[in-house]
Amino acid sequence: MLEPRQIHNITHPFIDSIYLKKEFGADISTGSLDILVIEAKRISTMASKEERDGLLLSFLADLDLIKDAVESKAGKFNRVDIKYC
């Protein structure tokens, strides 16, 4: 198994970590996918629903800029997964 490649120096208040990983299909002939994984910070402890909603909306508004920044640093990827707990 390949280790995920951590992406540094791209920050947002919603983001805990960003990394690229490879995903392989059941059929080796299909090759692999490069997946950008964005792990979100836990924001459930924030004071109000409005603050949580505002941070999430800010992240979604900035998502294209974040993807462009990662692509310029690390190359193209096939998909974005967002992990949020």
Please report, in angstroms and rounded to a whole number, the separation of the first and last CA atoms in the chain. Answer: 25
5-6 vs 32-40, strand pairing mode:
unpaired
Domains defined for the chain, CATH in brackets: 5-83 (3.30.300)
* Beta-bridge partners for 32: 24
pLDDT digits (tens, 9 = 90+) for 6-51: 999 999 988 999 999 998 876 666 778 899 999 998 776 666 888 8
pTM of the model: 0.84
Q: Do 2 and 21 contact (CB within 8 A), yes or no? A: yes
